[in-house]
Structure 1
């Protein structure tokens, strides 16, 4: 498959050449030191974010944002976890997947998309090293050798474009530097779980050419039995390898050229669905549930295999008045996953299964992006930036039913371009105003390639996104801000139902208006950090996916309106130089506002909503319901306590906990398909050098071995899927 637009390639090549020849570069700098001031003993570290596409102190940015540093990320992934482990790690963020490790679904402030198809769009954008990971299979690219992860809550349409009305998950990896450096971690745990990741920086010509090589290897053995066939340890295994090479060239004081190439190779299994484990009549796990056993008669061992590669070239040229930046990127993703969707068999169940379902979806995708920016050099009373962006993707999705339906391949193409600008101005010593504007055009085309009648469908839209923020320093330690922002999710086409003899469905653009006010503070001689925000947003034509139901369909629908409001609180307490506690919480109230919206319902569950019969099919009226997969409460707590050992080491204890409140899985409400009061925690005990150069620890993830239901499959029976079991292990980390 090839990208269809030669204009895209020309734009990328010409802009790259222009920036290379035109003006001035950014010097390579140590990522850990950029923009950060050294914290005195017993003080909290400064947090650097790039919400405005430049490095700034989190406390100076008028956006509700939270970060995860490299150490925290490694702790989360100690037992070989993948992207969904980010769920509830910061207030307002939720992540789940019914596609195993291949296609995560992100939600911020309750906005997301429950669509399980590989062509699904999402209102949360994942940006890795300044490149948008648009497709769901790219969003699952492994996270390793990271500098930080930023979660920017609320619309980010001015600087990051369409499909960001909920916010952004921004992942920045460690870059090459001027000094030799090595950092890595290795862990081993239950189920023969193994995880290793790290990177090494090699200055080939110090100050001129530097190379960073990094990689990841994660694997786990099968640990789930098949109770139907009698096979032991038949499911649960995976093996994933990923790598990244980055070459930084700084031929002068002004020019910086960074090229990177990343690959991913996953051999694993899709999500293990478990038949009839909920209710009936409640959301409790019943006697059909056994964490260590499934009862499959199909699914081809639920095999999932995906490969991806991403190539990027970034050029910065720093002139006397501004920095010119060009980012050109190409990505490819291909693979397939198959599953026993009904979660059981017709002979022994468990429970009643009306008919079998065994399907496989595969994708072959190419994505091209080009961005050009000109940004003023920081330090003056006014900061500004302007730029342009081009996006082009082309992919095939094939659906195969091994008894039903017959194979069908459809093609999706998406072309979009935008121009944008932002300006920030200081009005005196205390007040800063920021305004941004973006114009976007987006076009999608859909056609059946084989296996069904051609059904060409096209959608397009053009929109203006904008934001306006005011930031006021109340004192040297505390600030308040207010922000108004608009954004949109581009129109979408969903064609998976073509394989089930239904036409593709279309959703028009989703438009959001968001109002936010917050405060940021560092108190007690910078030993306490308290940041908070309250927000209210309204959505016109919110896009939802009506998934499952007795007809087993995936249909896009637009509700008339939607609204949400709530708050987020992020805090950190350096109680003593050796005792750090962080805590976060968010409360979110969402509502669908459409008196006529009716969607398909489950085959066997207990529906709470009023129902109507349309065209002979019973449907639920969902007006007033929560958005699907929008937890009402999210909370997280971490604590680290160290006991000095000698002059250069310490014995430490670190624990982290997350809480997920009431969550409805689908558009309609039922007694079975929801969750509440889910808690999951981890613990690490070990020895560490105080300079961060070495650490060895014993750990446990899901320490209380919680059985938390993470989602459901509703069309056939009361099928659901659950979280990972408890894992014990040991780990070691080095950095020098």
Structure 2
């Protein structure tokens, strides 16, 4: 039975109210005498590499959060993919219409809903110092990871590859000459298994290695009730395997080289679309059962990726030279029932569930190759002036096929379109840190980038007799200078204030998905190009350690303007994607991060982000839904050439929640000198979102609150641990995305999962 909206909102409000009382609880600790417990537990220093140097996070003039340790172990214990990071850091959202591949990241409301396989994203993902640009490479599973850093705001100086919103940075555990490793095994509902292991240590006096592997699976937990000849008994299962191997050479005190290889093999189901599950208010319809679906088309997905990187450093005395070389490759095949149901309204037997205007079954196949090279020279020592300078080169190639299948004709191919994109970019960059005084540090950075794309798209044949489309070629290019300037003031031993202004840049993007295009349109409407966007962001913040380092509080406020923002009009009546540029968008808000020992046994973390986004373009319009039931568009509309368009001036950006909030609490009970019983809980909340550029009551995602709990026993000073866990323990199920060209199709978040886990470390 589906819970009522009133119950849901009360539950969300209660969780937020509890979270918002935490600062007051932390302040109450100040009432105790400072010397009441000289052996009190204190927080460990968080070291980040947001500036390409290892620094205390409290001294970095960037809004940065780290996800590591027990928090990282807990939130991924249910075998979820990288989307588990959604709302786990202030102002961060993650979603996907491709399932366990192709995650789309949003920071401070800025992201991209484009589902094409050459889509450009304004949030960059960096794995072990290598940017992974193509969307097929971005969903690599998280295991044997030292920490994840979320850097908010433009990062265009030191990282550079399309980072106007920020970046998410993953750092694997490096090899060490001391033998270490772990094994972890969990099992839960829906035949969910997560098994991972790592081992590393010295191989010779100068060589060390580390190998780590992951195996994840889930059973097909959704029953397909369609009784046709092409019925799949169940869907939504997967089997995901990944491996990482590293070899570290320390030939001398002045030279080291780290070779890393990694690969992934995923087989499972594509995103499961469900027909007509959205009501007029955007909530799931009464009687919705997440464990049942009725589809008449295939649903399957396979992804294979592999890559290698070589990171070297030479200490030259006054400076160190770094070289980072990488090669990555991926192959994806994905096919799904896009209408989310069976049959069609024009058939004698009709279709369902609900009204199916026409069958839609499509797939995508892609092969991606990427190569990068970076050379960076950085000063050594603790000098009044520290500097970095470097060169960067990037090249990738994507070959994409978009395929439509005739569901009613046995699944034969009835439309085929291809795309080929070659992207080459290079950059020169530098930054300087100047300790003007003992209490003030000035930082400045500059980056020059040239970016070129060579894109060709064609339709080999189209559905329903639609003609072929001859190859269309576009070659957009641009050059840009991005920069940042920041100052950090140490106003007290435990209080740092900072101010930062930064300019970010995203290169031109291309959309040429022609399988369902109207061949009568001119070439510049069939293949659309979005010009470069630029972001200018102003930010101020405060980072404070409290109560003899028993608590940390970080605050940031920002105001940013996106000029010429790239937007993607997805789906609509024509089921056709196209790129737009808005004159301007605005982003403004604030963020807070708190970590505190309320007692020696109770550790609490709390983070929240408020983001107000607004499209500012009085003349910008976009096609609305093709939903025959009506999607209840609330924007003003205008008819142009017989098509109804929505005016989107003043709308928020899609998939941009105003609020993201996260909370964790851990209470430990020592049982002996080397054993402990603990309870850990974690919560993540995001407010409602628009699925598309236009506003519609149907295609508005409801607020979503997910929580987890973990009860465990550890012994041997943490060497061994057994735990029981639950993910999404309230079983909150909501639509997290939609498809708007056929019916009220949506897709949902992950179900509740209970399980047990054992971990051994050495």
Regarding TM over 0.5, the answer is yes
SS in 2 for 1:250: strand
Q: Which residue of 1 aligns with 2:12?
A: none
The structure 2 residue matched to 1:645, chosen from 668, 671, 676, is: 671
The structure 2 residue matched to 1:491, chosen from 501, 505, 508, is: 508
Q: Which residue of 1 aligns with 2:134?
A: 135
Counterpart CA distance in 2 for 1:105 and 1:525 is 40
Does residue 359 of structure 1 match 2:362?
A: yes
In structure 2, the CA distance between the partners of 1:364 and 1:64, relative to structure 1 (3 Å rule), is same
> Which is worse superposed, 599-608 or 696-705?
599-608
Q: Which residue of 2 aligns with 1:94?
A: 93
SS in 2 for 1:85: helix
Q: Which residue of 1 aligns with 2:548?
A: 525
Counterpart CA distance in 1 for 2:684 and 2:288 is 24
Q: Which residue of 2 aligns with 1:157?
A: 156
Q: Which residue of 2 aligns with 1:721?
A: 747
Does residue 551 of structure 1 match 2:574?
A: yes
Q: CA deviation at 1:350?
A: 1.2
Q: CA deviation at 1:344?
A: 0.6
Does residue 410 of structure 1 match 2:407?
A: no
Q: Which residue of 2 aligns with 1:624?
A: 650
Counterpart CA distance in 2 for 1:537 and 1:93 is 16
Q: Which residue of 1 aligns with 2:736?
A: 710
Q: CA deviation at 1:486?
A: 0.1
RMSD of aligned Cα (Å): 1.4
Does residue 513 of structure 1 match 2:536?
A: yes
Does residue 423 of structure 1 match 2:421?
A: no
Kept after mapping to 2: 8 A contact 1:74/1:185: no
The structure 2 residue matched to 1:398, chosen from 397, 401, 409, is: 401
Q: Which residue of 2 aligns with 1:433?
A: 442
TM-score, normalisation: structure 1 = 0.93
Counterpart CA distance in 1 for 2:716 and 2:583 is 56
Counterpart CA distance in 1 for 2:712 and 2:424 is 51
> Which is worse superposed, 408-417 or 342-351?
342-351
The structure 1 residue matched to 2:614, chosen from 557, 567, 591, is: 591
SS in 2 for 1:286: coil
Q: Which residue of 2 aligns with 1:448?
A: 457
Q: Which residue of 1 aligns with 2:165?
A: 166
Counterpart CA distance in 2 for 1:264 and 1:222 is 21
Q: CA deviation at 1:72?
A: 1.9
Q: CA deviation at 1:319?
A: 1.6
In structure 2, the CA distance between the partners of 1:459 and 1:182, relative to structure 1 (3 Å rule), is same
Does residue 215 of structure 1 match 2:235?
A: no
Q: CA deviation at 1:232?
A: 7.9
Where in structure 2 are the equivalents of 1:615-694 lying within 5 Å? 615-689=641-715, 691-694=717-720
Q: CA deviation at 1:106?
A: 0.3
Kept after mapping to 2: 8 A contact 1:178/1:210: yes
Where in structure 2 are the equivalents of 1:345-356 lying within 5 Å? 345=342, 346=344, 347-356=350-359
Where in structure 2 are the equivalents of 1:223-622 lying within 5 Å? 223-229=221-227, 233-279=233-279, 281-287=280-286, 289-298=288-297, 300=298, 302-345=299-342, 346=344, 347-403=350-406, 406-448=415-457, 451=460, 452-497=469-514, 500-501=517-518, 503-602=526-625, 603=627, 604-622=630-648
Where in structure 2 are the equivalents of 1:108-119 lying within 5 Å? 108-119=107-118
Q: CA deviation at 1:353?
A: 1.2
In structure 2, the CA distance between the partners of 1:204 and 1:641, relative to structure 1 (3 Å rule), is same
- Structure 1 regions of 5+ residues with no counterpart? 1-38
Q: CA deviation at 1:229?
A: 2.1
Q: Which residue of 1 aligns with 2:724?
A: 698
Q: Which residue of 2 aligns with 1:18?
A: none
Counterpart CA distance in 1 for 2:458 and 2:232 is 41
Counterpart CA distance in 2 for 1:95 and 1:651 is 33
Kept after mapping to 2: 8 A contact 1:162/1:440: no
Q: Deviations over 1:398-451 (max 9, x none)?
A: 011012751122101100000000000111110000000000000011113662
Counterpart CA distance in 2 for 1:405 and 1:288 is 35
Kept after mapping to 2: 8 A contact 1:405/1:500: no
Displaced runs of 4 or more, over 6 A: none
> Which is worse superposed, 692-701 or 493-502?
493-502
Kept after mapping to 1: 8 A contact 2:586/2:615: yes
Q: CA deviation at 1:205?
A: 1.0
In structure 2, the CA distance between the partners of 1:449 and 1:609, relative to structure 1 (3 Å rule), is closer
Q: CA deviation at 1:137?
A: 0.9
Q: Which residue of 2 aligns with 1:9?
A: none
Counterpart CA distance in 2 for 1:123 and 1:498 is 26
Counterpart CA distance in 1 for 2:490 and 2:39 is 23
Aligned length: 694
Kept after mapping to 2: 8 A contact 1:498/1:504: no
Counterpart CA distance in 1 for 2:42 and 2:512 is 54
Counterpart CA distance in 2 for 1:310 and 1:229 is 43
SS in 1 for 2:137: helix
Q: Deviations over 1:335-367 (max 9, x none)?
A: 111110011122341111111100000110100
Counterpart CA distance in 1 for 2:152 and 2:227 is 47
Q: CA deviation at 1:152?
A: 0.1
Kept after mapping to 2: 8 A contact 1:399/1:499: no
SS in 2 for 1:434: strand
Q: Deviations over 1:438-479 (max 9, x none)?
A: 000000111136624110111000000000000000100111
Counterpart CA distance in 2 for 1:185 and 1:522 is 34
SS in 1 for 2:251: coil
- Structure 2 regions of 5+ residues with no counterpart? 1-37, 345-349, 407-412, 461-468, 520-525
Q: Which residue of 2 aligns with 1:5?
A: none
Kept after mapping to 1: 8 A contact 2:502/2:536: yes
Kept after mapping to 2: 8 A contact 1:652/1:685: yes
Q: CA deviation at 1:563?
A: 0.4
Q: Deviations over 1:527-551 (max 9, x none)?
A: 0100010000001110010001111
Q: CA deviation at 1:678?
A: 1.3
Q: Deviations over 1:135-178 (max 9, x none)?
A: 11111111111000000000000001141000000000001011
Counterpart CA distance in 2 for 1:201 and 1:501 is 56
Q: CA deviation at 1:498?
A: 5.3
Q: CA deviation at 1:499?
A: 5.1
Q: Deviations over 1:211-238 (max 9, x none)?
A: 1001110001111111222868510110
Q: CA deviation at 1:638?
A: 0.1
Kept after mapping to 2: 8 A contact 1:278/1:718: yes
> Which is worse superposed, 658-667 or 168-177?
658-667
Counterpart CA distance in 1 for 2:287 and 2:326 is 48
